[in-house]
Homo-oligomer: A and B are copies of this chain.
Amino acid sequence: MAGEVRQLDDRKLAVLRAIVQDYVGTEEPVGSKALVERHNLGVSPATVRNDMAALEEEGYIHQPHTSAGRIPTDKGYRLFVDRLAEVKPMSAPERRAIRHFLEGAVDLDDTVARTVRLLAQLTRQVAVVQYPSLSRSTVRHIELVALAPAKVMLVLITNTGRVEQRTVDCPGTVGETVLADLRARINARAAGQRLPDVPAALEELPAMFEQVDRPTVTTVLATLFEALAEQNEERIMLAGTANLTRFGHDFPLTIQPVLEALEEQVVLLRLLGETTDAAMTVRIGRENAYEGLNSTSVVSVGYGSGDESVAKLGVIGPTRMDYPGTMGAVRAVARYVGQILAES
């Protein structure tokens, strides 16, 4: 790989950069003449043509038909992102606006909702935000409420502000004192624990109750563990689907599988799951595992309160997208959501 790249001298790389920039802007194959006109490369079209031929030979660009201009391939975008582009930072006013908009949120739902809309608007693409994940967060409080003689509502509140709730059908009548006792003991042991550690912390609990009450206790605990484990813990919010209409000319064909993918939470979760925690991840075209997204790129990054990344967010757009701008917006938004979450 590195060998291949080394064969391309600086001017060829400049040509590739120019091709990507122009194509992203105009959405039309770019030819040698137009290229020298718009970027002052200091060489003639003929020279550029030679370079283009070399770039095509290496698989970085491709021409749709003979005698049309060139468009970048996935591999070309990849090189562009890795070596030719710099993340474009947000301007100070933009950063202020982001922060201000996110600060207005009243609760976690609202924060996520605002984040996703903001991201969609900034990038003019489809934005995806995963809720702060349960697996990394800790128990703030667990509440038990009697609804009926043999029916209990269980509410789980996490440090990220998330609330999960379940109704439990108990095997027998549940006394108010037993319930209060159970509530107190559960919280004493579970509060502050990371969610995956909770079952272990509560292991010995049934033994501490009288024989009669044990079935109730175990039933409640079972439901609690279920809520903890529930993979539907992984929720996602979406915005900006209207931006799909700006995808391109041949778009009815492109847009259908994308819309389908967006409807499948599982697909989106896996998509974001591929993000390596620390840095920003860019998946270009066929690099995406999901087939329907083969002509789109995904830019994603982890975010979280404090140092730890507890969830991910990202943007989905056509491979022909403004990578520097998109990456800048994604990074900025992730940073600010993290701050907001840390504060609340």
Contacts and interface: CB of A to CB of B under 8 A. Distances in A.
A166 interface: yes
Given A242-B263, A255-B245, A262-B241, A155 B157 contact: yes
Nearest to A223: B106
A290 to B, nearest CB: 14
A147 to B, nearest CB: 7
A239 interface: yes
For chain A, the bracket of interface size reads 20 to 34
Tell me whether chain A's interface is mostly helix, strand or loop, or mixed: mixed
A79 interface: no
A175 to B, nearest CB: 17
Contact of A256 (B165, B230, B242): B242
Contacts of A157: 145, 153, 155, 165
A249 to B, nearest CB: 9
Interface string A233-262: 000000111101100000110011001101
Give the residue among A147, A166, A263 with the most B Cβ atoms within 10 A.
A263
Contact of A259 (B167, B241, B344): B241
B106 A166 contact: yes
B259 A107 contact: no
Give the residue among A163, A242, A344 with the most B Cβ atoms within 10 A.
A242
A161 interface: yes
A141 interface: yes
Interface of A: 106-107, 110, 140-141, 143, 145, 147, 153, 155, 157, 161, 163, 165-167, 230, 232, 239-242, 244-245, 251-252, 255-256, 259-260, 262-263, 344
